[in-house]
């Protein structure tokens, strides 16, 4: 399906959620409006209110499409079985909630549209900066109205942001021994809505993700791939939203950087 014509409408829905539910709560949250979901995860009243606005607005754009939001799926995990539906909106209302709850950037809104498990379009919005990154399968990646091509940092060794948060101790140690010496490691932003643009825009060259939930990765993976980078499973298989329970994903600013890192991961 062609999704390029949806961008204006999707952006209006995102901005409504930002203006009504997200920015009014930024740095004004009370302790009772921040809930620990467990597993190093927080949710705030802004996440929940924004997801309702997004879900209702997106449903009006494509009546009949399934809607799977992070918070709705947290309350009803059976929703995850709908990620392979004919059409499915995937929502992360506040990506980077831990940052948001602490009153700091980055955080963002991520929306994707999939068809039978394959991401067709993705939108990543920075509420503080107003930057919209979006991509459409077969039509390229854009920042605002400008089409972009992925670029590397030009640094040697390449810059890698590696998320160790959801890895077990053995895998963390293997990363330190076998991967870290070949790269300049930088802190992750704890926000996929920022990490994926960094890969495509020449800030970071690579990222390794252990947890690959659809709302965190559908929009960003498509954005980098459509820009000419490469996001895939370590064995090269494409990322599918209906396989988001599987661990392991590499994001790279170029296919060559992807292949180099994948080979190193396969060696241990």
What CATH number has the domain bearing residue 175? 3.40.190.80
Number of domains, the chain: 2
Q: Could you tell me if 128 and 197 lie in one domain? A: no
Domain membership of residue 261 (yes or no) is: yes
| pLDDT of 54 over the 90 cut | yes
Domain membership of residue 101 (yes or no) is: yes
Q: What percent of the chain has pLDDT over 90?
A: 87
| pLDDT of 254 over the 80 cut | yes
Domain membership of residue 228 (yes or no) is: yes
Domain membership of residue 246 (yes or no) is: yes
Q: By residue range, what is the domain housing residue 245?
A: 159-266
Q: Could you tell me if 138 and 186 lie in one domain? A: no
What's the pLDDT score for residue 228?
A: 98
Q: Could you tell me if 16 and 137 lie in one domain? A: yes
Q: Could you tell me if 106 and 9 lie in one domain? A: yes
What's the pLDDT score for residue 267?
A: 87
Does the annotation flag 149 for ligand binding?
Answer: no
Q: Could you tell me if 19 and 135 lie in one domain? A: yes
Q: Could you tell me if 144 and 25 lie in one domain? A: yes
Does the annotation flag 36 for ligand binding?
Answer: no
Q: Which of 51-60, 82-91, 167-176 has the lowest mean pLDDT?
A: 167-176
- pTM of this prediction? 0.96
What are the pLDDT digits (tens) for 135-189?
Answer: 999 999 999 999 999 999 999 999 999 877 777 888 888 788 889 899 999 989 9
Last residue of a domain, one of 117, 148, 179: 148
Q: Could you tell me if 117 and 194 lie in one domain? A: no
What's the pLDDT score for residue 165?
A: 74
Domain membership of residue 77 (yes or no) is: yes
What's the pLDDT score for residue 164?
A: 73
Does the annotation flag 9 for ligand binding?
Answer: no
What CATH number has the domain bearing residue 88? 3.30.540.10
Domain membership of residue 154 (yes or no) is: no
What's the pLDDT score for residue 2?
A: 77
Q: Could you tell me if 164 and 225 lie in one domain? A: yes
Last residue of a domain, one of 91, 122, 148: 148
Domain membership of residue 153 (yes or no) is: no
Q: Residue range 35-50: average pLDDT? A: 91
Domain membership of residue 241 (yes or no) is: yes
What's the pLDDT score for residue 1?
A: 65
What are the pLDDT digits (tens) for 93-150?
Answer: 999 999 999 999 999 999 999 999 999 999 999 999 999 999 999 999 999 999 999 9
What's the pLDDT score for residue 170?
A: 82
Distance CA(110)–CA(94), nearest Å, equals: 8
Q: Which of 48-52, 181-185, 214-218, 220-224 has the lowest mean pLDDT?
A: 181-185
What are the pLDDT digits (tens) for 66-86?
Answer: 999 999 999 999 999 999 999
Q: Residue range 232-249: average pLDDT? A: 96
Does the annotation flag 170 for ligand binding?
Answer: no
Q: Could you tell me if 79 and 178 lie in one domain? A: no
Q: Could you tell me if 94 and 143 lie in one domain? A: yes
Q: Could you tell me if 174 and 112 lie in one domain? A: no
Last residue of a domain, one of 148, 182, 200: 148
Q: Could you tell me if 196 and 243 lie in one domain? A: yes
What's the pLDDT score for residue 119?
A: 98
């Amino acid at each position: 399906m062609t999704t390029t014509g949806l961008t204006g409408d999707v952006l209006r829905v995102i901005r409504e959620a930002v203006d009504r539910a997200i920015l009014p709560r930024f740095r004004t949250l009370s302790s009772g409006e921040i809930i620990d979901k467990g597993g190093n995860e927080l949710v705030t009243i802004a996440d929940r209110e924004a997801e309702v606005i997004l879900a209702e607005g997106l449903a009006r754009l494509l009546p009949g499409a399934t809607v799977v939001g992070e918070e709705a799926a947290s309350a009803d995990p059976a929703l995850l079985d709908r990620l392979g539906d004919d059409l499915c909106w995937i929502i992360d209302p506040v990506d980077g909630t831990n940052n948001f709850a602490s009153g700091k950037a980055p955080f963002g809104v991520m929306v994707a549209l999939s068809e039978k498990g394959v991401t067709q379009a993705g939108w990543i919005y920075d509420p503080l900066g107003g930057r919209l990154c979006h991509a459409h399968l077969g039509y390229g990646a854009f920042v605002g109205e400008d089409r972009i091509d992925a670029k590397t940092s030009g640094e040697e060794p390449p810059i890698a942001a590696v998320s160790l948060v959801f890895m077990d101790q053995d895998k963390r140690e293997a990363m330190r021994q076998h991967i870290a010496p070949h790269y300049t490691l930088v802190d992750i932003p704890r926000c996929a809505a920022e990490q994926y643009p960094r890969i495509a825009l020449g800030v970071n060259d690579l990222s390794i993700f252990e947890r690959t939930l659809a709302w965190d990765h559908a929009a960003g993976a498509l954005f980098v791939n459509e820009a000419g980078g490469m996001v895939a499973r370590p064995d090269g298989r494409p990322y599918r939203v209906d396989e988001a329970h599987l661990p392991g994903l590499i994001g790279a600013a170029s296919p060559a950087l992807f292949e180099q890192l994948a080979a190193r991961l396969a060696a241990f």
